[in-house]
Amino acid sequence: MMVFGKSELYYTEPVAAAEANAVGKLLMQTGFFRDDREAAVHIAQEDGAFQLKFVIDPSRAADPTVKKAFIDLSRNVAVEALGERPVFLHLCDGNFATLYSERL
């Protein structure tokens, strides 16, 4: 786990610490991770694709504007921090159970 402001970034092998750090720094730059708000993200890798799991309020998982915002954020992470490798976006509850997912 890495801490960025009040937020936590979890990562599991084979994701390297340098990759996780690049994602965390980008999430700070975009304002998703901030010093005044808690957030949690998990990054993993499976079958050659990164899995980006964002904890959100479950009542907002079906909101199209919320989905679009996370799709845009995940695409930015893929391009800027992960070398444009394939990414699966997961919107999750507080236990990282997937409520919505999409391959980007």
Give CA–CA dist 88/86, Å, rounded. 7
Q: What's the whole-model pTM score?
A: 0.94
Residue 47 has pLDDT above 90, yes or no: no
Q: Which domains does the chain carry?
A: 2-103 (3.30.300)
pLDDT bin (cut points 50, 70, 90) of residue 29 is: very high
Angle, in degrees to the nearest 10, between helices 64-80 and 17-30: 130
**Cα–Cα distances in angstroms (integers) from residue 8 to residues 5, 66, 98, in the given order:** 8, 20, 18
What is the number of residues in the chain?
104
